[in-house]
Structure 1
């Protein structure tokens, strides 16, 4: 159940916790950038995962009620593992690198590059109308083509071209 996304360090002032919960109101920031501002406003505006989770208006989606919920969510399987350590009972999937609703580090998910089969972004489309290959208009016409220019005709006797 490994994720195909790569985790990239989040250099913004606020962590991305959209999978964990919702904020009832916006967080007040004294500055929008990290550099070129006083250190006090930068320190006040920079939030960590723990500081956002402790805010009174942050409401998480999944909260374990007791230690049984933590043990049930663990990756330990007592039927396959023998002589397990005590901490194996509490190891969660995100410590193994699996994608879950919790975020362990201040990162965001970066999608892998899209595989382009021919090396260029041309899209293949379907043929809506299939014309007959015996049509003269689809073939390369030679000098003995049966078609003539519009408005011209060939006389059967002499072969000269007359305009009517």
Structure 2
């Protein structure tokens, strides 16, 4: 059966070929982008934690749980694969990973409070820090997800597929 040239062209592109061809030098790797995202996230987490501590000026036994919580957030996001940006992952799924990382931070802060603060913590400091950290993380990860999604749609974040052999 002879196919129409206009419809046959779309089917011949194959599943790995992007809508727009971009030269290999113009393409980026998700892995290198995720490293940049992690560095920026770490700097922002440190900035939010330092800002909360400098505004309230608590004693070390009060701010130690916040520092440990801020330090735990980056590895928690990494272990929950919040920086992998899977191809078919939705923004909701990304938000779920970030929320789960905050659950880990909550456990770390709770344990550190019991160890360092003897069960006492400044609730207003904890609430302000937690809300600031959550808002900053949410904004950053929405921006990261949109940047990766835009790069994929634009053809700059496509996998390198090499077909060896004859067809």
Q: Which has the higher helix share?
A: 2
Q: Which has the higher strand share?
A: 1
**TM-score band, normalised by the shorter chain?**
under 0.3
What is the TM-score of this pair, normalised by structure 2? 0.23
Give the number of the structure whose alpha-carbon radius of gyration is greater: 1
